[in-house]
Structure 1
Amino acid sequence: MESVLRYLDWTSVGLALLGGLLSLLLLEIFRLNSSRSRYPPGPKPLLFVGNLPQLINTPMELFRSMTKYGEICSMYLGRQPVIVLNNLQITKEAFVQNGAVFSGRPAMPVIDWITNGFGILAATYGHSWKQQRRFALHTLRNFGLGKKTVEERVAEEAQYLIKEMLKQEGKPFYPIHVIMNAVSNIICSVVFGDRFEYDDKQFAKLLEFLNENLRLLGSTAGQIFNLFPFIKHFPGPHHKVWQNANSLKEFIREAVEEHRKSLDPEHLRDFIDAYLVEMTKQVSKEDSSFHEDNMIMSTADLFLAGTDTTATTLRWGLIYMMDHPDVQERCHEEIIQVLGFDRSPCMDDRTQLPYTYATIHEIQRCSTIVPTVLHDITQPTQLRGYNLPKGAMVMCNLMAIMTDKNHWKYPNTFNPENFLDEKGQFCKNDFFVPFFLGPRACLGETLARTELFIFFTSLLQQLKFSWPPGAPRPNMDGILGIVRSPCPFNTICLSRETTH
């Protein structure tokens, strides 16, 4: 009799569990169908996980496919719907004409975990973000952003980079460290007041942590953390992100303490000095956001944004030059005609180097290191007839805009002619938006444009790049983390003076 009761008990438990699972499944199907009926069409999501499997496995393919659903479509990050904007007109309507409404930053648990909402890049749109961004822009300009002093600094660093690369002349090497170090030295000179040698082991480790975090934050581990943030209490690769971020913050704290000891308010040396003085000025203001935590994270944000994006674009540039040696040769010939071998380039040379300038733009267009930009909505609004609640996520598909077949001569192939007119002169294209639009557009755009032009022109002036014999071509979809990086590759460089 007892065995029969036990059998019935287990049967009841099993039936109850099965009934509960079926109910949960039916509720999720109903919820998803109801949600999809309120939003634009898009790729079919799976229950509970949405389009995350596609985003993790084939992200570039997913972004390219979005245009087939029209100018506005939707996808799902887990159970959360995301409105995707696929052309420039609707992007401007949202992010420029209604910038304050569409400039929120969606909650990303893995990012919030390491920033606590401080700084600029990941901060919520509001008073603190506005104060920090305004101060950063003002201070960067005071320390030479957009002026000849920064151009000279970049030109000088380009020579250090070339000298470092020539140590490997004729031998295959992976150029990630030297390029990151060179680019980082520019923002470091503005933020920390100093540059770092290429053989500085502590700084090399810091750049390694930075690169690893950018990859991990956008990886499967990062996406899983965003879905289930409670896993921070368990072991996993997310703890590597935490450790790396803490190493960067500790590096900045040490720099801040050194600055405090030698601070002269009458003679500011860099961003940290300026921030320390601003903290003192604002100490009595109740609405001030200038405090230690914001200083550490704002400094980290400038270091991160000023290092990785430009360095990643230059690495893509080497790949495209090795893949298109005819373009590389034409750039080199144009540069030598204007500059010779001895004079360093400056921004005034752009008009005399139209093909080289067009090539740099084409590298940015084809690499699209930020294929999409994700924001959320700060208040209820409407867009093209769809009612969007506060907190709804909106994604701009920059890849779709920069490969729009209606606005590019060669949308899907690498060709500098996309930026040249019939006379061979550089011509601007309004659909070239790598730095985004609206209130949250890249605050370092001026610096990035200067670095890309001077570094790229200097490299092609003095060096020739080629694939190592028999080297396989890397997957051109790259690796999508926070930015889209090229897969690891080796290059061979030779001195142009030697080859001439």
Structure 2
Amino acid sequence: MGTALMNVDQNSVILALVLGLIFLVLFEILRIHVSRGRTPPGPRPFPFVGTLPYFIKDPMGSARSIHQYGEMATVYIGRQQGIVLNTLQITKEALVQEASTFSGRPALPLIDWITNGLGIIMVTFGHSWRQQRRFALHTLRNFGLGKKSVEERVSEEGRYLVAEMLKEEGTTFDPKHVIQNAVSNIICSIVFGYRFDYDNKRFAYLLKVLNENFILTGSAGAQMFNLVPFIKHFPGPHQKMLQNTNELLRFIREEVKEHRQTLDPENPRDFIDAYLLEIEKQKSHEDSTFHEENMVMSTADLFLAGTDTTATTIRWGLIFLMENPEVQERCHEEIVQVLGYDRQPSMDDRDKLPYTYATVHEIQRCANIVPFGVIHATTQPTKLRGYDIPQGTMIMTNLTRIFSDKKHWKSPDTFNPENFLDENGHFYKPEAFIAFSLGPRVCPGETLARTELFLYIVTLLQRLHFSWPPNSPRPDMDGIMGVVRFPHPFKIVCCSRDAKY
């Protein structure tokens, strides 16, 4: 009798769970149906996970096709609604004309878990963000950003980069580490006050874990964390991300400790010195957001933003230049005609090198390293094109579509520097080139990135010729989707242009 009652109880529990699950699914389907009737059109979401399966399965295919739903499309990251802006016009309307409303950042559990809501890049639009960004931009300018001194650092590092590549002359090698190291050394010189040699094993390891985090953050595991944050208590790729982040923060804290011990208030050497002085200066202000943890995270943001994005663009650039050897040769000929083999380039040479300058921009357009831009969020309820947009809605810019729209580009689907040249062969920048975004949250490192891309690419093409190794397979041009779109691992062969070096 007892066994029978137990079986009945177990059956009742199972039935209740099944009925409850069915009810939840039906309720979710109804919620989705009602929600879709009030939002811009978009791909049909699945219960609980939204449209994530489409983007995880084929991220670039989704980026290329989402514009079919119109100038705005609705997507769902789990149950959280997002709006994709598919045209330049509506992007300007949102990010520029309604800037304060569309300049937030979404609440992403993974990012909040790692950053504790501190820093510059992913912090919400508000007082802390304004203080930290304003201070960072002012301090970076003081230490040479946009000035000849930073140009000189990039030019000098360009010489080191070429010399490092020439050590592998005629052999097959992966250029990833040397490019990352060269790019990172510029922001390191501004933030920490010095550069790192290419054979520094500790720094090589740090660059490796940073790159790993950039890939993991865009992975299916990271998206799962954002859907069910309680998995932070369990093993998984998110634990590796936290471990990698802690490695970087530990490195920065060690730098801060050393800077504090050797600080000369009359002669700040770099960003960390300047921040330590600002903490003291702001101590009496109740609304100050300057403290050591914010300093560490803001430094990490600058280090991250100043490393992988530009390095990734240059790596894509090598792929496009090897795939289009006639472009590579034309750039080299133009560079040598203006600079010869010995003079280092400067930003003043841009007007004299229109084809090469156009090629740098075309690399950025085709590399398209952030296909949906850095995600924004609405800071308050608003309307856009007649649709009600709730507060906290994620806003994405479909750069993939904008960078391939026939309205804006002569050759939207092929690598062609003519996209940035007028009928007289002079450089011009189409309005649709918004690689650094628009509005108040435009990339704070834009000036540095432009300087590095131009000077590094000119220096490389002046001194070296790049080609694919014999019979090597070409990488999948859709790349690997992380925080940025990375090229698949590839190897190159470089040869000296017979210059004195």
What range describes the TM-score normalised by the shorter chain of this pair?
over 0.9
Residue 312 of structure 2 corresponds to residue 325 of structure 1: no
* 1:120 alignment counterpart: 120
Matched residues in 2 for 1:460 and 1:77: separation?
A: 42
How far 1:73 moved relative to its partner? Answer: 1.1
Aligned to 1:351: 351
| TM-superposed deviation, 1:305 | 0.4
Q: Does residue 226 in structure 1 map to residue 239 in structure 2?
A: no
Residue 462 of structure 2 corresponds to 461
Q: 1:50 to 1:186 in 2, by over 3 A?
A: same
1:10 Cα shift? Answer: 4.0
Contact 2:463 2:499 in 1 (8 A): no
Q: Which residue in the other structure is 2:401 paired with? A: 400
2:153 corresponds to: 153
For residues 11 and 379 of structure 1, what CA distance do their matches in structure 2 show? 48
Q: In the TM superposition, what is the alpha-carbon distance from 1:78 to its structure 2 partner?
A: 1.0
Shift of 1:57: 1.5
Shift of 1:338: 0.4
Q: Distance in 2 between matches of 1:145 and 1:10?
A: 69
The 10-residue stretch of structure 1 (11-20 or 485-494) with the greater mean CA deviation from structure 2: 11-20
For residues 344-365 of structure 1, give each alpha carbon's deviation from its aligned partner in whole angstroms, at most 9, with x where no partner exists.
Answer: 1001111111110000100000
Per-residue Cα deviation, 1:219-272 (whole angstroms, up to 9, x for no partner): 111111111111111111111111111111111111111111111111111101
- Write the distance in 1 (CA, Å) between the matches of 2:418 and 2:492: 26
Q: Which TM-score applies when normalising by structure 1?
A: 0.98
Query: Does residue 186 of the first structure (1) align with residue 182 of the second (2)?
Result: no
Q: Distance in 1 between matches of 2:6 and 2:206?
A: 61
Distance in 1 (CA, whole Å) between partners of 2:73 and 2:58 is: 18
1:54-98 CA deviation, whole Å, 9 max, x = no partner?
A: 111211110111111111111111111111110111111111111
5+ residue gaps, structure 2, are none
Kindly provide the amino acid, as one letter, of the partner of residue 449 in structure 1: R
- Which whole-Å CA distance do the structure 1 matches of 2:420 and 2:492 have between them? 27
Change (3 A) 1:163 1:109: same
Q: What code does the residue aligned with 2:274 have?
A: A
Question: How far did 1:372 drift?
Answer: 1.0
**Residue in 1 aligned with 2:370?**
370
SS in structure 2 at match of 1:82 = strand
Which amino acid counterpart does residue 325 of structure 1 have in structure 2? P
Please name the residue that 1:26 is paired with: 26
AA in 2 matched with 1:73: A
Q: CA deviation at 1:11?
A: 3.7
**Cα displacement (A) at 1:292:** 0.4
The aligned runs of 1:10-49 (5 Å cut-off) are: 10-49=10-49
Partner residue, 1:475: 476
Q: Paired residue for 1:491?
A: 492
* Map 1:297-446 → 2, pairs under 5 A: 297-373=297-373, 374-446=375-447
Confirm whether residue 133 of structure 1 aligns to residue 149 of structure 2: no
- Superposed structure 1 runs of 4+ greater than 4 Å apart: 1-7
CA-CA distance at 1:122 after TM superposition: 1.2
Q: What does the per-residue CA deviation read over 1:272-301, in whole Å, with 9 as the maximum and x for residues that have no partner?
A: 111011111001100000000110001000
C-alpha displacement of 1:3: 5.6
Alignment root-mean-square deviation, CA: 1.2
- SS of the residue corresponding to residue 465 of structure 1 reads strand
Helix, strand or coil at the partner of 1:304: helix
Give me the identity figure in percent.
66
Partner of 2:101: 101
Q: Any idea what the Cα deviations from partners look like across 1:413-437, whole Å, max 9, x if unmatched?
A: 1111101111211111000000000
Cα displacement (A) at 1:14: 3.4
Question: One-letter code of the match for 2:302?
Answer: L
Alignment partner, residue 247 of structure 2? 247
Structure 1 residue runs of 5 or longer lacking an equivalent are none
Rounded to whole Å, the distance in 2 between the matches of 1:143 and 1:7 is 75
Q: Where in structure 2 are the equivalents of 1:180-219 lying within 5 Å?
A: 180-219=180-219
Deviation of residue 13 (structure 1)?
A: 3.1
Which residue in the other structure is 2:288 paired with? 288
Using the alignment, how far apart are the partners of 1:20 and 1:53 within structure 2? 24
User: 1:390: Cα distance to partner?
Assistant: 1.3
Contact kept, 8 Å, 2:342 with 2:499, in 1: the verdict is no
Q: Which amino acid aligns with 1:420?
A: L
Query: 8 Å contact 2:42–2:69 — kept in the other structure?
Result: yes
Aligned length: 499
1:65 maps to 65
Q: Which amino acid letter does the alignment assign opposite residue 185 of structure 1? A: N
**Structure 1 residues 3 and 245 mapped into 2: Cα distance closer, same or farther (>3 Å)?**
closer
